[in-house]
Chains A and B, each alone.
Chain A
Amino acid sequence: MPEDVSTPVLQLLGVSKQFGGKVALDHVDLDVESGEIHVICGENGAGKTTLMNIVAGIVRPDEGEIRIAGRAVRLADPTDAARVGVGMVHQHFKLIASMTVAENLYLNRQPRKFGFVSDRAAMRAGAEALIRHYRFELDPDAPVSRLSVGQRQRVEILKALGFDARLLILDEPTAVLTPPEVDELLRIMGQLKAAERAILFITHKLNEAKAVADRITVLRHGRRISTRPARALSEAAIALDMVGREMRPPHRTAGPAANARPVLTVSGLTMTTANGRRLVDDVGFSIAAGEILGVAGVDGNGQTELSEATAGLAAVQSGSIVLNGRDVTAAGVRERRRAGLSFIPEDRLDRGLSVSMSVAENLCAGLYRRKELVGPGGLVRARAREAFVSATLRRFDVRGGSPSLPVGRLSGGNMQKIVIAREMEQDPAVLIVAQPTRGLDVGATEFVHGRILAAADNGCAVLLISSELSEIFALSDRIAVMFRGRILSIVARGEATEKSIGLMMSGERAAA
């Protein structure tokens, strides 16, 4: 469909939206050309998702105009948006796990025989053609429940593209992906761009934005701050627009003390699945007081198991975990926490929080053995708890949260701050942190990094597990690389380069 080059696929003029008196979007203009990848950056709560929901017909704007290929449209619902060629891939997938890839692709638009029987052969053939057309590696007959996260996302993309979407919206698509899956997604985006599709790509990972974008628009507090070509733009300039101030990467005030005693010593740790496969294979390390050991590695190489075993949440096959000179291998979670261990799990919604419970209850969970919070008969001292909670919320800069609000209503960054506040409140001797900034924007990331460094400065031994190399390098004193359950080597940060660590992450052992 040859389109006039001067007519953008999508044009937004002065779009505004309020939610209950709170301004989410304030007269935002935006245009996207066909064959363009347009990145929307902004902190959590800047209005990115609201803007995308307006384009996808999920939310109606209070003011402003939406033009698709030059024609003003009113989008009543997502079906309307699909009709004019807008497809959206949500952050949280909307697939039916028990159905096959083909069935998901044809949901609500199945080809039919005799007017009512679904024509499975036609559906399968259509799905196969679609998959081949975009050269995705997918089996149309595989149930979605058996696909990896990256594969599921490809199904979502195909579903959104349908057969004729001109504009594809990707809402923070990389948040759930492993690095190789991210690379694959970026490759696919390049391919779609070559096919003259327009892509709106929401992310707060600046390196990804830089890697694929033609233009970058930054939103802050519902306002459009800038729209600029990506080529000449530095990551620092984008971050400045997003946050509205210079970023100051946090620094250690005190380095790890020379020859400090080891606080956490893990040796010969081995964990296996029920059928004998080794998840964690003879892992050993020790961390001194005030030291941060970073464990780098592609997700799924045993880091989750290692963190849970150290925290006492998973049983080990063999090996030992020594905390402050005491063997805690057989001890339960509660005992280890009393011995000074804190754990910030990788998925805050899974292990870190109970979303239906209040902010106060999530903050105080596990802290009820404290005398100042609990009085005689196990009764909670309401006033003391209130005071403790509001002081903690202030100290950890949790925004938008009253103590009685269900924690699930907070943004991801503020939820993570609740988890961090709770775990840091115990003044831990050992802190296990897994993927501490996953899904967080630059401002929140800066804050979390500062907290981890401050804990180390206070003499806490930190085990940091992250699949973000930049994070590992920003925080660690020593860096370990995990691959297929083994720790390949542990090197001082000064002796490591992103390249050497990256190679080891893919399994190449450094020549030693």
Chain B
Amino acid sequence: MTRARVFARLASALGPVWAFLAVLCAGFLLILAISSDPLLAYRDLLLSNFASASNFALFLNRLMPLLLIGLGVIFSFRAGVFNIGGEGQLYLGAIAAASVALALPNLPHALALALPIAASVLAGAVYGWIPGALKVGLEVNEVVSTLMLNFVALLLTEYLVTNPLRDPVAYGAVSYVVPHSSWLAEIPGLPGSTVGSIVAIAIAPIAWVSLFRTAWGANLRAAGSNMRFAETVGVHGKRLVLQAMAISGGLAGLAGGFYVLGIGHRFEQNFSPSFGLVGLTVALLARLHPIGLVATAAIYALILNGAAYMQIDTDVPRSLVALLTGILVLIMTMRPRRGPAEA
């Protein structure tokens, strides 16, 4: 790689950093206008995540689903399928993990972990495969089908958690607590965290390699960018689309499984503050790049969690964050045009 190309790479990687800094400045002006203690508000927003081990654990917990769903979005979008069904796939993965763990309480520890995790991946994968098959076979628009399937998943899990799985002594619509043998370990030194977050971070480079450094990934992106071209050069494009959708759903399902086994330890209705939508946003902000996604997901997790501390300590409402993330999306999707159009 030439030096010029290294610089070009660095410059394009720095773009989002500048955008983030610009948003922080804009946000500071806003807080200055409404708050009596702007410095404290900003310190809370940015630094509380690192103030204690348990705060940092919460940050990682928030990062995990965003990363996994975002990676799933990257696989499906790169295959040319606009899968916006991450939320539904997440819920199905979560309920599948909870159901299997509750149904088989007396398994040895390894199996008690492996089976629910496998169930969550499988449930998500099947749920992603369905709109993929509908698109490939019947040309059903995947935006519509994945969006609709979100409602199906949400209502199905709602039924399950308010009826057969409901823990009658707990407050709210939650399932029984899954047996201890099915709990994911904490990251040592970070109480309340889960090794699921480490797994999620580790999957990002694997996703990058498989998409950009394997023949499979090249074929997948060929199918995603021009299906007729892929067919012409002998790539089984439709098969790859189905695989990408299964992976996409499987990753979102895994996020649900990790949440139940590592964070909530039970299925909770409304456990997701729109992880599906935010996962989609961070994947698009990362321009569908798995490594960039780690950064954008981390930024989102940081300010989403930081906002909670800020609201407790100061008079700044946490809805400020919606404003900040809105500005961030705006800045990062801007394409300033320099000079006249090329002929």
A interface with B by C-beta (< 8 Å): 19, 24, 49-50, 53, 58-60, 311, 313, 332-334, 336-338, 343, 345, 350-357, 361, 364-366, 368-369, 373-374, 377-380, 382, 422
Contacts and interface: CB of A to CB of B under 8 A. Distances in A.
Contacts of A353: 226, 229
B219 interface: yes
A374 B232 contact: no
27 contacts: A19-B342, A19-B343, A24-B343, A59-B340, A59-B341, A59-B343, A311-B232, A332-B234, A334-B236, A336-B234, A345-B232, A350-B229, A352-B232, A354-B230, A355-B225, A357-B225, A365-B219, A365-B233, A365-B235, A366-B233, A368-B215, A369-B215, A373-B215, A374-B215, A378-B214, A378-B215, A382-B213
B232 A49 contact: no
Nearest to A369: B215
B221 interface: yes
Given A345-B232, A351-B232, A354-B226, A380 B214 contact: yes
A379 B209 contact: yes
Contact of B222 (A311, A333, A354): A354
Contacts of A19: 342-343
Interface of B: 209, 213-216, 218-219, 221-222, 225-226, 228-236, 340-343
A6 to B, nearest CB: 32
Contacts of A60: 340
Nearest to B233: A366
Contacts of B232: 311, 313, 333, 343, 345, 351-352
Contacts of B222: 354, 357, 361, 365
Contacts of B221: 357, 361
Given A334-B235, A345-B232, 18 more contacts: A49-B343, A58-B341, A332-B236, A351-B229, A352-B232, A353-B226, A353-B229, A354-B225, A355-B226, A356-B226, A364-B218, A365-B218, A365-B235, A366-B233, A369-B215, A378-B216, A379-B213, A382-B213
A308 to B, nearest CB: 9
Nearest to B236: A334
B245 to A, nearest CB: 20
A364 B234 CA distance: 12
Interface of B is mostly: helix
B225 A58 contact: no
Interface of A is mostly: mixed
A178 B139 CA distance: 32
Given A49-B343, A361-B218, A364-B218, A352 B229 contact: yes
A354 B225 CA distance: 6
A354 B213 contact: no
* Closest A-B pairs by Cβ, 6 of them: A366-B233, A368-B215, A334-B234, A354-B226, A378-B214, A351-B232
Contacts, number: 86
A364 B343 CA distance: 29
A436 to B, nearest CB: 15
A369 B214 CA distance: 11
Contacts of B215: 368-369, 373-374, 378, 380
Nearest to B232: A351
A340 B279 CA distance: 45
B119 to A, nearest CB: 27
B239 to A, nearest CB: 11
Contact of A368 (B219, B229, B231, B340): B219
Nearest to B234: A334
Nearest to B216: A378
A351 B228 contact: yes
- The listed residue with most B CB atoms (<10 A of its CB), out of A311, A337, A377, is A377
B293 to A, nearest CB: 19
B326 to A, nearest CB: 28
B218 A354 contact: no
A373 B213 CA distance: 11
B343 A50 contact: yes
A334 to B, nearest CB: 4
Contacts of A337: 233-234
Contacts of A355: 225-226
A58 B343 contact: yes
A163 B225 CA distance: 42
Contacts of B209: 379
Contacts of A338: 234
Contacts of B225: 354-357
Nearest to A350: B228
Given A333-B232, A361-B222, A365-B229, A377 B214 contact: yes
Nearest to A356: B225
A380 B234 contact: no
A422 B233 contact: yes
A350 B218 CA distance: 18
